[in-house]
Amino acid sequence: MPYICMRRTDIPEGILQVLDLWPNTSLRNPVIDPPGQTKYVSFVPQNDTVETDGGRVTLAAYRGLAAYLLDNVVSGGLGVGTGALSDANANDAAAAIVAGMQAGHAMTEFDLDAYLTAVVANTGIATGGSTGTVVEVLSILSGEIYTVPTASGMEVGGVKTARTGAFGNPLRVRRTYDGLALNASCAEGKLSVFKSASFEYLDTPGAALVVYSNTGSVM
């Protein structure tokens, strides 16, 4: 399942609309057609700055990528680490990942591990005790909201606890499915225009979107 992510932060919600996917959400026959695919692509990634006390307990409810990393990643788990990321490390890693997406870089497990390891050595998104997944990170980058409640303990006795957060229900981003229409749009349709470095919004050039496969490779 591909993920369409907003690279730019200067384009308001409700501006970019992908209308050449199939079926058209407004014109589909709900009896015989699959779920609609046309949609607005409007959401920049949510990424609250997280903060915990000395016992790794969240001081408020937080939404977004840093909250997800804090809740799912074991710090140094590929080496000898067993505890949660610190709030500073979660914020730094999340900021680097968002910046990488905005630059149009790949978001595979290898790439995510590289972002994490640059902040804390021997740290992986889905290994060494971590419970993150590429698909969930891509979901957040495409606009889904992951929330960690206030007063959530991230570790006990230096050992990472089970995740306490969750995605919103229902999800707010319409799912996109791979197929002929999507690939045609990426190659020479609406998505190709929005992905192009020559795309302009209010006379400012620069690619608006990046499209990822569910492995995090750039389509």
d(CA 150, CA 107): 29
Whether the pLDDT of residue 141 is over 80: the answer is yes
The pLDDT of 129-150, averaged and rounded, is 98
Kindly state the percentage of the chain with pLDDT values over 70: 100
With residues binned 3-state (H G I as helix, E B as strand, rest as coil), the percentages for the chain, rounded to 5, are 25, 15, 55
When the pLDDT of each residue in the chain is averaged and rounded to a whole number, the result is: 94
pLDDT at position 192 is 97
Whether the pLDDT of residue 34 is over 90: the answer is no
Helix axes 134-141, 87-102, angle to 10 degrees: 70
Backbone φ, ψ for residue 86 (5° rounding) = -70, 160
By CB atoms closer than 10 A (0-12, 13-18, 19+), residue 85 is: buried
Q: Which two tokens mark 47? A: 């990424």
Looking at residue 113, the DSSP 8-state letter turns out to be H
- E-assigned strand segments in the chain: 3-6, 17-18, 39-40, 62-63, 146-148, 155-156, 159-160, 166-167, 200-201, 204-205, 209-212
Cβ density class 126-142: b for 16+ within 10 Å, e for less: bebbbebebebbbbbbb
pLDDT at position 36 is 75
d(CA 65, CA 141): 8
pLDDT at position 211 is 97
Query: Which of 33-47, 99-113, 122-136, 183-197 shows the lowest per-residue confidence on average (mean pLDDT)?
Result: 33-47
Q: Which two tokens mark 190? A: 């609406």
pLDDT at position 119 is 98
Domain range list for the chain = 3-43+173-212, 62-167
Using only the alpha carbons of the chain, give its radius of gyration: 18
Whether the pLDDT of residue 142 is over 80: the answer is yes
| Global confidence as pTM | 0.93
- Of the candidates 47, 139, 136, 33, the one whose C-alpha atom is nearest the C-alpha of residue 96 is 47
pLDDT bracket for residue 175 (50, 70, 90): confident
pLDDT at position 1 is 84
